[in-house]
Structure 1
């Protein structure tokens, strides 16, 4: 089985016999985010800052009584760290607390992945602002 990488407009064939997990490992080593991680980033745009806080008893009661929706933390600690950084980036841009960055790096992400994420979100935020002005 061969893996064909069609990202960036070019096709790079991997060595035959490379499994999907090995291909994912190569993507992580190269500083790229995986497709599931980009999905988390897109979905984080809809999450509010309140999704980052622990839910209180009163909050849980109000949610149950009035039917508020709350973004629940992800089961994977690595993906939850990505979601937290993405939510903060969507709302605050480059102004991220050092403790959140530490959590992001401890989850196994690299500085290159963080910069790629910020460039992507920054470009989308700018295009949204331009679209709203027109």
Structure 2
């Protein structure tokens, strides 16, 4: 059970015992993406969910016989994690598996950036759906 420790505060605010104290000057960084990252989100709109799967042996063999499929995977692991989240969000909205969210966060993004991407895609999806209605 947590309790407020009023005797140990330096800034005049109570701190929860057992929790590290944060100074008042520590503000969480605003969630933002670079222009390159926003372009990855925009380009992911045109990618299919199947672009997230690695092709199997049969698909590779068929690609050699017919026309080879281009690899949509990005070379930068951080941008690829962003692309994966964006592709899923464009197709499924907020229904994203926890392992994808964990991979996104492990790539160096924050939870605030995750929420920013999903909110932006959701607004765009809603606007696109409104234009489609007669």
CA distance in 2, matches of 1:84, 1:58: 23
TM-score, normalised by the number of residues in structure 1? 0.73
Unaligned runs of 5+ in 1: 1-28
Say if 1:44 and 1:71 are closer, same or farther in 2 by CA, change over 3 A: farther
Question: Which structure is richer in relative contact order (CA contacts within 8 A, separation 6 or more)?
Answer: 2
> Normalised by the size of structure 2, how large is the TM-score?
0.73
Bigger Rg over Cα? 2
The reply on whether 1:81 has 2:94 as its aligned counterpart is no
- Tell me by how many angstroms 1:55 deviates: 1.0
RMSD: 1.4
Cα offset for 1:59? 1.1
Q: How far did 1:71 drift? A: 4.4
Q: Where in structure 1 do 4 or more consecutive aligned residues deviate above 2 Å? A: 61-72
The alpha-carbon deviation at position 68 of structure 1 amounts to: 6.3
**1:39 — aligned with what?**
39
Q: CA 1:113/1:131 → structure 2, altered by over 3 Å: closer, same or farther?
A: same
